[in-house]
Structure 1
Amino acid sequence: WVDSTERRRAEAALRESEERFRLLVGTVRDYAIYMLDPNGRVVSWNRGAEQIKGYSAEEIVGRHFSCFYPPEAVAAGAPEHALAMAAEKGRFEEENWRLRKDGSRFWADVVITAVRDEEGKLFGFAKVTRDLTERKRTNELLRRHTAQLEAANVELDAFAYSVSHDLRAPLRSIDGFSQALLEDYAGRLDAAGQDYLQRVRAATQRMATLIDDLLDLSRVTRSEMTIAPVDLSELARELATEFTSGDPERHVEIVITPDVAVRADRGLLRVVLHNLMGNAWKFTGKRSDARIEVGVVAADGERAYYVRDNGAGFDMAYASKLFGAFQRLHRVTEFPGTGVGLATVQRIIHRHGGRVWAESAVGRGATFYFTLS
């Protein structure tokens, strides 16, 4: 009697659980959830299936699920293949086109799971379908816009390279003839005339430097990358030697954290450090106690590499302009430059899957951080 009572209670609990599950599945609207018999005929249907596919339960129960496939997929045997794979592997999943009742297509994420009884006999298939049409449309739109943007960038880089290259020859001529005038005809020019020629030469040399920077900016976008282990500390020491050798009268304390290893394109990473350390060298030029640091810190769960100085600094209100081409926060008469270096740094870091940012205050130096994926 006790066993009989417990059995009835267990059966009642099971029926209650099954009813709750049936109600839950039946009321889901974002997913089509239904059962197939072993031959692929629909035996149950929920509200989500009705909403996504357009059939009512009365219209679809008993029909073969191949009616949800486009004609070309049916001809290729896709429905049979899906059931065979689910029966063999226990589960089949794919994203592909499916048909609604009105004949329109939608992009579906489909999961078919084989259902077996206690003895392992195939009972049928549980099928879950999700409509991903809007996501696919958004992704396709994003892909097209990305492709268009990449094509525009390639064209812009090619244009910049071509224009920059074509400007070199006339600039060399202007500079050469200006120099010849100063050397061979200086006696025939008064002080004002010589000053004008000096200004012409200075302007052409600034333009030549700008062209070189533009070519570098174009080159870092177009060049192939070779990712390999790089000793960032060693690279920084090489550059520090270059700066001190090029300006031996300056006394700058340069502190480099040892054994900082990264994975990057060595040539492009050298360009990054050359620009950041070069800026630090330049903007500490008016300090007798100049100091430059190169190291690594933890930032938001990732390693961030930095170049820090105690130089002129800048107002953080203008930080968003830093990495745009031709953007300068100081007058050329104060600190020379073309305003292309940091744009080059940003492009290189982005190509490595990283990010770059800066922290600073006027008169209190600056710290430039970057990450590498």
Structure 2
Amino acid sequence: MPAVVPPMFAPERAAAEDPLYRLALQSLAGGVAIVDLEGRWLDVNPAFARRLGREPQALRGQPVALSVAPADAAAVQAYLLALAAGRDPAEPWPAREGGEGEGLLPAAVSPSLLRDAGGRPRGLLLQLPPASPRSEQALRQALVERDATVQAQARQQEVFAYGISHDLRAPLRAIENFAALLARQSAALDATGRDHLQRIRAAATRMAGLIDALLDLSRVDRAQLAPAPVDLGLLAGLALAELQELEPARAVECDIAPGLVVHGDERQLRMLVTQLLRNAWNFSAERERVRIAVAGERVDDVLRVAIRDHGSGFDMRYAEKLFEPFQRLHGPEQGSGNGIGLAIARRIVERHGGRLWAQSEPGVGSSFQFELPAAQAAPDPDERSA
């Protein structure tokens, strides 16, 4: 039976407004969390946060689907959105048992819908039973160890990013500068020398692009998400316009479906769409006309988007390799890039609780499909006034 929201537990009454609400939430031995109707943590009591091995403030505003195994993320998000819409989910809570204290939501969670006195959905309540004393001690130790590991990994990533941005760029800039000086004296070079110089400059350009891609990959996991409704069709139009501007001589035929609105971080989703469209564009290099279609369909509370091209395609036996860094199925002459773009795209989708996969046929083209939480429709004006 859906729970009725007691006044002191109304999600919109934050701690600053109701100290009693805060005291009650923090004092509960069992884990209690309040989630908004789009599947994001609104408030989490310390007992619940400890079971996840996280701090409460680190969870607030993040999608719940990020706290389950990636294989379960889309199903968990769909479950929460169905519950928020007042429907009984067709399947039981889909998250499998996770290691407590390791950032994964335990399977013992009990979700329910919170309604106000008028019967309108206001939020979701997730509850966990109290942990045994021995389990509580183990969770605290796991939290300490996990925090130390996370901090060490964060430091390593910072050192890695610093090394890329500074130590690798310095010799690259020297190569580019001296190559530019030689180019000004290219009249003194013979045809072979000018060809060698052009190869040096092209290699330096590719190396600069690789460094930028590595930095993007390192930032995908570290960046904090700011979820909001995002129109993927608009982002696709902008990305295609930029590609067309870089190669104005290429004939382009593109079809972007309307209404591709999802709930996610706009900056990362812009990167996702750009990477997938650039991939479609590059592998259409051998065609007289670039033909790309961006379509989507809503399946329950998930938007399934497909970006299709009519390019060179690839052998499906090696499809999973595409999403691993530095893996390429084609050579540069066929449009292959630095081998990082699709790895970035998959990680962005996974951070949003979705999944990304590919279908292709050599010589016919490819289709990259992904699922993301669909944005909720705006409330009907009549309902708001009711």
Both proteins in one fold, TM over 0.5: yes
Tell me the alpha carbon deviations over residues 254-280 of structure 1, each in whole angstroms, 9 at most, x when there is no partner.
Answer: 111102211111111000000001111
Tell me the alpha carbon deviations over residues 83-110 of structure 1, each in whole angstroms, 9 at most, x when there is no partner.
Answer: xxxxxxxxxxx99xxxxxxxxxxxxx9x
Where do 5+ consecutive residues of structure 2 fail to align?
1-28, 30-46, 49-107, 109-128, 374-386
Is structure 2 residue 355 aligned with structure 1 residue 355? yes
Write the letter of the residue equivalent to 1:345.
A
Q: Residue 179 of structure 1 corresponds to which residue in structure 2?
A: 180
Q: Residue 258 of structure 1 corresponds to which residue in structure 2?
A: 258
Question: Do the aligned partners of residues 197 and 354 (structure 1) sit closer, same or farther apart at CA in structure 2, a change above 3 Å counting?
Answer: same
Q: Structure 2 CA distance, aligned partners of 1:205 and 1:132? A: 59
Tell me the alpha carbon deviations over residues 263-320 of structure 1, each in whole angstroms, 9 at most, x when there is no partner.
Answer: 1111110000000011111111211243211121356984311211111111111111
Q: Residue 276 of structure 1 corresponds to which residue in structure 2?
A: 276
Question: Do the aligned partners of residues 298 and 288 (structure 1) sit closer, same or farther apart at CA in structure 2, a change above 3 Å counting?
Answer: same
Write the letter of the residue equivalent to 2:225.
M
* Structure 1 residue 142: Cα displacement: 8.4
Question: Do the aligned partners of residues 235 and 252 (structure 1) sit closer, same or farther apart at CA in structure 2, a change above 3 Å counting?
Answer: same
Contact 1:160 1:214 in 2 (8 A): no
SS at match of 2:165: helix
Q: Structure 2 CA distance, aligned partners of 1:134 and 1:367? A: 51
Contact 2:268 2:348 in 1 (8 A): yes
* Structure-to-structure mapping, 1:328-339, within 5 angstroms: 328-339=328-339
Q: Structure 2 CA distance, aligned partners of 1:218 and 1:320? A: 21
Question: Do the aligned partners of residues 307 and 157 (structure 1) sit closer, same or farther apart at CA in structure 2, a change above 3 Å counting?
Answer: farther
Q: Structure 2 CA distance, aligned partners of 1:356 and 1:247? A: 28
* Structure-to-structure mapping, 1:143-292, within 5 angstroms: 150-151=150-151, 153-166=153-166, 167-184=168-185, 186-292=186-292
Contact 1:326 1:338 in 2 (8 A): yes
Q: Which moved more, 1:200-209 or 1:271-280?
A: 200-209
Q: Structure 2 CA distance, aligned partners of 1:302 and 1:248? A: 36
Write the letter of the residue equivalent to 2:214.
L
Contact 1:357 1:368 in 2 (8 A): yes
Question: Do the aligned partners of residues 151 and 211 (structure 1) sit closer, same or farther apart at CA in structure 2, a change above 3 Å counting?
Answer: same
Write the letter of the residue equivalent to 2:220.
V
Q: Structure 2 CA distance, aligned partners of 1:140 and 1:308? A: 48
Write the letter of the residue equivalent to 1:311.
G
Q: Which moved more, 1:130-139 or 1:267-276?
A: 130-139
Is structure 2 residue 270 aligned with structure 1 residue 304? no
The aligned length equals 249
Q: Structure 2 CA distance, aligned partners of 1:267 and 1:280? A: 20
* Structure 1 residue 220: Cα displacement: 2.2
Tell me the alpha carbon deviations over residues 161-219 of structure 1, each in whole angstroms, 9 at most, x when there is no partner.
Answer: 112112112211111111101213x3443332332222221111111110011111122
Q: Structure 2 CA distance, aligned partners of 1:359 and 1:298? A: 19
Q: Structure 2 CA distance, aligned partners of 1:295 and 1:220? A: 25
* Structure 1 residue 326: Cα displacement: 1.1
Question: Do the aligned partners of residues 299 and 360 (structure 1) sit closer, same or farther apart at CA in structure 2, a change above 3 Å counting?
Answer: farther
Q: Normalising by structure 2, what TM-score?
A: 0.57
Q: Structure 2 CA distance, aligned partners of 1:295 and 1:164? A: 37
Is structure 2 residue 298 aligned with structure 1 residue 314? no
Q: Structure 1 CA distance, aligned partners of 2:133 and 2:320? A: 37
Q: Residue 327 of structure 2 corresponds to which residue in structure 1?
A: 327
Q: Residue 102 of structure 2 corresponds to which residue in structure 1?
A: none
Q: Structure 2 CA distance, aligned partners of 1:366 and 1:228? A: 29
Contact 2:250 2:289 in 1 (8 A): no
Q: Structure 2 CA distance, aligned partners of 1:314 and 1:147? A: 42
* Structure 1 residue 160: Cα displacement: 3.0
Q: Point out 4+ residue stretches in structure 1 off by more than 6 angstroms.
A: 129-146
Question: Do the aligned partners of residues 336 and 317 (structure 1) sit closer, same or farther apart at CA in structure 2, a change above 3 Å counting?
Answer: closer
SS at match of 2:304: strand
- More relative contact order, 1 or 2 (CA 8 Å, 6+ apart): 2
Q: Structure 1 CA distance, aligned partners of 2:265 and 2:272? A: 11
SS at match of 2:364: coil
SS at match of 1:305: strand
Q: Which moved more, 1:207-216 or 1:334-343?
A: 334-343
SS at match of 2:249: coil
Q: Normalising by structure 1, what TM-score?
A: 0.59
Write the letter of the residue equivalent to 1:224.
Q
Write the letter of the residue equivalent to 1:223.
A
SS at match of 1:174: helix
Is structure 2 residue 343 aligned with structure 1 residue 343? yes
